[in-house]
Chain A
Amino acid sequence: MANTQSMTTSFMGELLTATHNFGTAPIRAVSTADTFRAALYLVSATINASTTVYSSTGEVTGTGYSAGGIVVTNATPPTATNASATAGVAFFTPSASLTYTSVTLTTAFDAVLIYNASQSNKAVSVHTFGSQTITAGTFTLTMPANTTTTALLRLATT
């Protein structure tokens, strides 16, 4: 047997469920999963890794779309998997597509912001795609497979 230096895979998975706190954390009234939302942003907007919180600035507007976007379906909890003594992945993917039904969004948009509506709308991730407009139609964002290599959110050690 031998010891091997690594950040533990279980720790990474527990980061996704707010188990550890090295600083000052919000007080949680419940232990259930938070509510996450998905908002669409115009091509002209600037959302990226420095985005800290949801903002309506640069968000799409149009018939059938409400500011703040839609709720992300979250039926599958995060998973943490070891690949070796030093490598592991914690990952999470929403359990359903993001579907904006019966909308008209005539100004081009190319990004979606996932944010935590239960924690002061704090930002989680930004995902971009080719520029789109929608006219009296439906915009659907289908999630990637929930695996160690393709999940929507992945934390990994190598």
Chain B
Amino acid sequence: MALVTTTKGDMDESLLVKQEGTVDNDNELTTWVEYWLDGELVHRSAHVTLKKMPSFAGGEAASF
């Protein structure tokens, strides 16, 4: 019996409808999980793994 933290307190996972998803692109790998109770979202967690960092301009030493 797995318990899920929800807006209504900890609940047995078997009482809930579970939905999961993944987003995988150049910028991130994201997984998320949702638990629904009678059409109401009672839990949502997300895990984002960053892949692509901001570009920092290359440094140079000036020529004379």
Contacts and interface: CB of A to CB of B under 8 A. Distances in A.
- If over half of A's interface residues share one DSSP class (helix, strand or loop), that class is named, otherwise mixed; here it is strand
B5 A155 contact: no
Interface of A: 5-7, 12, 102, 104, 125-130, 132-144, 150-158
A136 B53 contact: no
Interface residues of B, number: 29
Chain B interface mostly helix, strand, loop or mixed? strand
Most buried by B among A129, A133, A141, A153: A129
Interface of B: 5-7, 23, 27-28, 30, 32-34, 41-51, 53-54, 56, 58-61, 63
B18 to A, nearest CB: 13
B50 A127 contact: yes
A126 B54 contact: yes
Given A144-B49, A150-B51, 14 more contacts: A12-B59, A104-B7, A129-B48, A130-B27, A130-B48, A134-B45, A134-B46, A135-B44, A136-B42, A136-B44, A137-B33, A137-B45, A140-B45, A142-B50
